[in-house]
């Protein structure tokens, strides 16, 4: 489904501390955050995959660190006519930015995208009109990060959380 040119050479996540690996250290009082992380099934870093028909999921990057099979490794089950348009390394705290062919944009927290333990169809990220499709996606880890779109006339538009309303997943987005 992907090769290292898309995601970079991140390899298997390295865990420096017991807290980072999801285990629970019981020395003195334990914070609520470390308890939540200990029982979470999400690894600290994973992949977010976005398709042209507006579907997406988050999946463990560890599934893709081993030598690939002859046919590659499947990360998402695509519907007929669909294709992957974006894949991102994420820690689950960024915002996902989506844009459509009909000039709609949607930004929402990436943790609203369902985390799956293996390949699946994913969830609807944006409500698309019948003849609309996604053409660009990106992630932002700060209010100023985003994606820049250039129209046919050379005009640039930056989509970032600082200048575009942050909404919820599976809405139409804004013009």
Least confident of 3-12, 50-59, 143-152: 3-12
pLDDT tops 50 at residue 52: yes
Least confident of 6-10, 29-33, 60-64, 80-84: 6-10
Alpha-helical runs (H) found in the chain: 4-7, 32-39
H-helix or E-strand containing 77?
Answer: none
53: which 2 tokens?
């028909």
Average pLDDT over residues 26-30: 38
What pLDDT is attached to residue 42? 67
Least confident of 22-31, 52-61, 71-80, 83-92: 22-31
Average pLDDT, the chain: 77
């Amino acid at each position: 489904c992907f090769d290292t040119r898309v995601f970079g050479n991140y390899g298997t996540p390295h865990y420096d501390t017991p807290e980072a690996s999801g285990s629970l250290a019981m020395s003195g009082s334990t914070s609520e955050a470390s308890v939540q992380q200990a029982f979470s099934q999400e690894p600290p870093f994973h992949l977010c995959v976005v398709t042209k028909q507006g579907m997406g999921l988050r999946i463990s990057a560890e599934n893709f660190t081993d030598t690939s099979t002859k046919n590659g490794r499947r990360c998402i089950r695509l519907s007929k006519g669909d294709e992957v348009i974006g894949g991102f390394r994420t820690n689950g705290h960024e915002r996902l930015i989506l844009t459509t062919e009909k000039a709609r944009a949607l930004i929402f927290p990436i943790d609203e995208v369902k985390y799956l333990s293996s390949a699946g169809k994913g969830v609807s990220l944006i409500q698309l009109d019948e003849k609309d499709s996604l053409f660009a996606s990106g992630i932002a880890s700060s209010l100023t990060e985003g994606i820049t779109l250039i129209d046919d006339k050379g005009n640039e538009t930056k989509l970032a959380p600082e200048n575009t309303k942050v909404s919820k997943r599976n809405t139409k987005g804004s013009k």
